[in-house]
Structure 1
Amino acid sequence: MRNKTQSGRLARKAYLFLLPSLAGTAVFVLLPYVDVVRRSFFEAAGGRFVAMQNYVTVVGNSAFRLASFNTLRFLVICVPLLVLVSLFCSMLIAGLKEEGTVFKTSLLVPLAIPVASIVLLWKLFFYPQGMVNQITALFGMAGIDWINGDTAFGVLVFTYVWKNLGYDVVLWVAGLAAISDELYEAARVDGAGIVARFLYVTLPGLSKTAFLVVSLSVFNSFKVFREAYLIAGEYPHESIYMLQHLFNHWFVTLDIQKMSAASVLLLLVVALPVITKGLASRRGET
C-alpha cells in the first residue's frame, strides 16, 4: 500500500512537470488537428456539411491514387532496406568495438549536411552533365537523366538510406550494448553457432529497439519530400510523385477540404499500426 502511495505521488509530480509541454501540444497540435477532422466533413467555401463526400472525392482522385501508390512503394522498399542495412552496420561496428568509432562517426556525417547542400551534391552527380554520366561515358555508355527519368525512384531510395543510416545505426548499437555478454557466453557453452546466437539471443534482445527503429524510419520517410522537391521541382517524374507533392499543390490552391480529408486518411494509415503495436506490447508485459 505504501509503495502504491509513493508511486502515485511520483506520477502526480511527473504530470506537473509535463503540464506546460502537454498544454502547448494540446493548443498548437491537438486542437488544430481536431479542427482539421471537423473541416474534412464540410465544404471549405460555404461551410455546408457534406458527410463523407470529401473522402470520396479524395479517394477517387487519380493524383491521390498515384501519390499514395508511390508513397506506399517507397515505404515497403526503403524501410526494410534501411533497417537491414543499419542492423548489419551496427553489428559490424559492435564487432570492431573501439576501431568502429571512426566508421560510426562517418555514418553520422549525412545528418549534419543541410538538405540544400545534399541537393547540390546530387545535381553534381546525377544531372545529365553530372559525374556519373561522365564516368559511364568513358566505357562507351550513353548518358541518362537520373533524376527526371525512370531511375529517379532509385536515386530517391539511395538518398533516404544514405541520409538516415547513421541515425539508425546509433540506435542499434545502443540496443546491442544493452544485451548481456553472459547470454552470448551461455549460448556458446550450449554449442550455439553464430546464426543461432543471432536468432535466439540478438534478435529477442533487440525487439524494443527494432520497434523504435522501424517507427522512426517510417516517420523519416515522409521527410524525403524535401530532397525530391528541391531536386526535381513541384512536378517530378511520376515515379517519385509523393503525397507531400499532392498536399503542396492543394495548399497552394487552398483546397482545404481535400487536404483535411487526405490528412485524416494519412493519419489513420500511419498511426493505427503504431497504436496496435503499443497496445500489444503492453498486454504482453502484463
Structure 2
Amino acid sequence: MKKIRIRRGQGAGLIFALPSLLGVACFLLLPFLDVVLRSFQGAVDERWTGISNYQTIFENEAFWLAVGNTARFAVVCIPLLLVISLAIALGLNQCGQKFGFLKSAFLLPMAIPVASVALIWRLLFHNQGIVNGMLTQFGGNPTDWMNSPAAFWVLVLTYLWKNLGYDVILWMAGLSGIPYSIYEAAKVDGAGAWKCFTRITLPNLKPTLYTITVLSFLNSFKVFREAYLVSGSYPHESMYLMQHLFNNWYRDLAIDKMAAAAVVVAAAIFLVMLLLKWILAREDSL
C-alpha cells in the first residue's frame, strides 16, 4: 500500500512538471540542438562543413579578444560582488528590523530601465561629463573614460551597482535559514565572532553560495546592454565582450560562426558550473 502511494505521488509530480518540461524542450533544447547542427554547416547553402566553422572562430582575433575580456570581467566582478554583497548582508542581518527598508532599496537598480542607466553613465563618464567636471575643478586633467582602459572598470562598476542588491537579498535569505540557537551554543563554548563566521555561517551558506555564484555568472553576460547603449557596437577594446561579437556577427548574418561560438560558450558555461559544483561537493566531503 505504501509503495502504491509513493508511485502515485511520483506520477502526480511528473504530471505537474510536464508542462514546464515541454516548454523547456520546445523553446530551449530543440533550438539549441538546431544551433549545434548549424555549427557544422555553411551559413547560406547549409552544406556539411565539419569543424571548419570552429577552426574559423578559433583563428579569429576578435573572438579571442572577446573571450579574454569576458573571462577577465567574470574573474574580477564575481568575487567582488560575492564579498561585498555578503558583507552588506551580514551587516543588515545584525541590525535586524531597524533597517528593513534597505532590503527593498537595494533592489531599485534592477527596476531602473537599461536606457536610463546608460544615460546616467553617459552623463557621468562622458568626455565633458560630471566626473571630468569635478576633476577639472580639483586641478586634474579630463579623461575620455569610455575610450580608454578605464572603460573596463566603468563596466565593472555598472555590473556591481546593478546586481549588488539582488545578491544581498539572496544572502539574507540564506542567513535566515541558519538557526540562531547554533550561534548561542557556540558562544557559550567560548567561540568568538570570527569563529562563528568561519565554522557556522560559511558552511551553512554553501548551497546559497553555489546559487548566487551561478546567477552572478549568468548575469555578467547581461551587462552588454549598458555597454552597447553607452559605446555602441565597437567600444574600447578593453570592454569588447562576447555579446558585442555575437551582435556584430548577427548584423553580418554570419550564422555559421555564431552557431559555432554559441556552442563553445555554452560548453564553457556548463563546465564552469560543473567545476564549481565539484569544488563545493569536495569541500563538503573533507
- Asked if TM exceeds 0.5, the reply is yes
Q: Which piece of structure 1 moves more, 260-269 or 4-13?
A: 4-13
User: Please, which runs of 5 or more residues in structure 2 have no aligned partner?
Assistant: none
Deviation at 1:276, TM superposition (A): 5.0
Provide the C-alpha distance between the structure 2 equivalents of 1:62 and 1:259, rounded to a whole number of angstroms: 15
Alignment of 1:160-171 (within 5 A): 160-171=159-170
Aligned to 1:264: 263
1:182 aligns with 2:181: yes
Q: What does residue 29 of structure 1 align with?
A: 28
The SS at the match of 1:179 is coil
Give, in angstroms, the shift of residue 278 of structure 1.
5.0
Verify the 8 A CA contact 1:70 1:241 in the aligned structure 2: yes
Equivalent residue for 2:129?
A: 130
Map 1:202-217 to 2 at 5 A.
202-217=201-216
Of stretches 228-237 and 21-30 in structure 1, the one that deviates more from structure 2 is: 21-30
1:172, 1:209 within 8 Å by CA — same for their partners in 2?
yes
Amino acid at match of 1:176: L
- Contact 1:94/1:100, CA 8 A, preserved across alignment: no
SS of the residue corresponding to residue 7 of structure 2 reads helix
Corresponding letter in the other structure for 1:66: L
Q: 1:135 to 1:34 in 2, by over 3 A?
A: same
Alignment partners' CA distance in 2, 1:273 and 1:149: 30
Partner of 1:233: 232
C-alpha separation in 2, matches of 1:282 and 1:122: 40
Aligned to 2:147, what secondary structure does the other structure show? Answer: coil
Report the RMSD for the aligned CA atoms in angstroms. 1.8
In structure 2, distance between residues paired with 1:8 and 1:265: 40
Distance 1:124 1:263 in 2: 34
**TM norm structure 2:** 0.94
Q: TM-score, normalised by structure 1?
A: 0.94
Q: Which residue of 1 aligns with 2:67?
A: 68
Tell me by how many angstroms 1:9 deviates: 1.9
Q: Residues 210 and 277 of structure 2 are in contact (CA less than 8 Å); yes or no, is this contact kept in structure 1?
A: no
Q: Which moved more, 1:113-122 or 1:48-57?
A: 48-57
Structure 1's unaligned 5+ residue stretches are: none
- Structure 1 residues 282 and 20 mapped into 2: Cα distance closer, same or farther (>3 Å)? farther
- Measured in 1, the distance between the counterparts of 2:237 and 2:29 equals 33
Once the two structures are TM-superposed, the CA of residue 155 in structure 1 deviates from its matched residue by 0.4
Aligned length: 284
Residue identity matched to 1:271: F
Q: Report the alpha carbon displacement of residue 74 of structure 1 after superposing the two structures with TM.
A: 0.1
What is the CA–CA distance in structure 2 between the aligned matches of 1:209 and 1:6, rounded to whole Å?
Answer: 33
